[in-house]
Chains A and B, each alone.
Chain A
Amino acid sequence: MKSNSENIFEFITAFVDNELDKDKVVKLQKEIESNAELLNEYYIQLQMKKLLRERFSSRNAPKYLYESILNKIKIENNLAE
C-alpha cells in the first residue's frame, strides 16, 4: 500500500493533467503553494508535460506510408485499383 506522501505526489501529476475532482484541485493547490517540495514536484511534472507536448505533438505520417498501406490492403483483399 502506498504511503500518503507517495499518493500526494501522484495526485500532483493528476493535478497537472486536469484529472482531479474540483474539490481536490482547490485543496491540493493550497498545499502546493505552501510546500516547497510539492511545488518542485509540480514544476517537474509540468515542465516534462510541456516539453513533450511542444516538441512532438504534431508530426505527420509520411505520404508514402499512407499510399503503401492502402495499396497493401487492396492487394491482400483483391480490391480493384
Chain B
Amino acid sequence: MHTNINHKTDLELQKKYEDFQSEAIPHMDALYNFALKMTNDTDEADDLVQETFLRAFRFFDKFEKGTNAKAWLFSIMKNTFINEYRKTSREPNKVDYDDIQNFYENIKASEVKSQHIQEDAFSSLLDDEVSEAIVKLPEDFRTVIILSDIEGFTYDEIADFTDCPVGTVRSRLHRARKMLYSSLYSYGKDKGYIKEKTTK
C-alpha cells in the first residue's frame, strides 16, 4: 500500500484528489488570467499557476470545504508570486507613481473631457499594448486592478487576500486606474491613436 508523508492511505489520497478536482481545479481559468496579467508572459504564467496548484494540493487538508475556494487559491498564488516567482524573475520596468501622478495632474481638464466624449478613445489600442501598461504598474496597484476589473472580486474579497483594509483597496484601485489611464493616454497620443484637441 502506498503512503505519503502525511501517512494517508491510498483511498484517502484518492478522495482528496477527487475533492481537489471538483473544488479547486474549476478556478484554474481565473488564476491563469491573473497570472498572465501579473507576469505578461505565458511561460511564467504557466509556472506560477502550476506551482500554485501543487502547493494548494499539499495544503488542501487545511482548506475548509464550502468556503471560498477561489479566494483561498488566489491567496496561495499571491504568496507564491511574492516568495518564489518574484525572487527569480526580472522585474519589468515599473512606472514611477509620482511621475504618473504629475503627468495626470498636468493633463488639462478640457483635454481629458474631450477624450471622454470619444467613448472609443482607447479602442485602437491592441490587447498587448494594454497588457504592457498593466504589467508596468507597481505590483500592489497591479494586483488590485486585476482582481477587481478582470476577475470581478469585491473590495471585501480583495482586502482578504491582500491583507489590507477595504479603504486601502479602494485607494489603490483608484490610483491604479488613474495610472493606467495616464499611461495609455500618453501611449495613445504618441502612437497617434488619440488626437489632441486644440483649445480655443
Q: Do A and B come from one complex?
A: yes
A77 interfacial by beta-carbon distance below 8 Å: yes
A77 to B116, CA, bound (A): 55
Q: How many residues of chain A have a CB within 8 Å of chain B?
A: 40
Q: Closest residue to B150 on the A side, CB-wise?
A: A56
B112 in contact (CB, < 8 A): yes
0/1 per residue, B13-28, Cβ < 8 Å to A?
Answer: 1100100110001001
Looking at the complex, which one of A13, A60, A66, A78 makes contact with B173 (CB distance below 8 Å)? A13
- Please measure, in the bound complex, the distance between the C-alpha atom of A44 and the C-alpha atom of B183, giving whole angstroms: 12
CA distance A60 to B155 in the complex (A): 24
15 example contacts (A-B, Cβ-Cβ < 8 A) are as follows A13-B170, A44-B181, A45-B174, A47-B181, A57-B33, A57-B151, A59-B36, A60-B32, A65-B49, A66-B25, A69-B53, A70-B25, A73-B17, A77-B17, A78-B4
Number of chain B residues close to chain A: CB under 8 A: 51
Given contacts A17-B155, A65-B32, A79-B13, are A52 and B54 in contact (CB under 8 A)?
Answer: no
Supposing A40-B109, A65-B49 touch, asked if A73 and B57 sit within 8 A by C-beta, the answer is: yes
A36 touches B109 (CB 8 A): yes
Task: Enumerate chain B residues within 8 angstroms of A60, measured Cβ to Cβ.
Answer: 29, 32
Contact of B17 among A17, A40, A62, A74 (CB under 8 A): A74
- Contact flag A68-B171 (CB < 8 Å), given A17-B148, A44-B178, A60-B29: no
> Is B122 in the interface zone, CB < 8 Å from A?
yes
A22 at the binding interface (Cβ < 8 Å): no
**Closest Cβ neighbor of B36 among chain A residues:** A59
CA distance A70 to B57 in the complex (A): 10
Q: In the complex, A44→B171 CA distance in Å?
A: 15
Complex CA distance for A37 and B108, rounded to whole angstroms: 11
In the complex, whether B92 has a CB less than 8 A from a CB of chain A is no
Is B113's CB under 8 angstroms from A36's CB? yes
Q: Let me know if B113 and A40 touch, CB within 8 A.
A: yes
Q: Which residues of B contact A74 (CB under 8 A)?
A: 17
Contacts of B155 in A (CB 8 A): 14, 17, 19
Within 8 Å by CB of B154, from A19, A56, A69, A72, lies: A19
Kindly state the separation between the CA atoms of A24 and B144 in the bound complex, as whole angstroms.
23
Rounded to whole angstroms, the CA-CA distance of A5 and B2 in the bound complex is 64
Known: A56-B127, A59-B29. A44 touches B14 (CB 8 A): no
- Look across to chain B and name the residue whose beta carbon is closest to the beta carbon of A50: B149
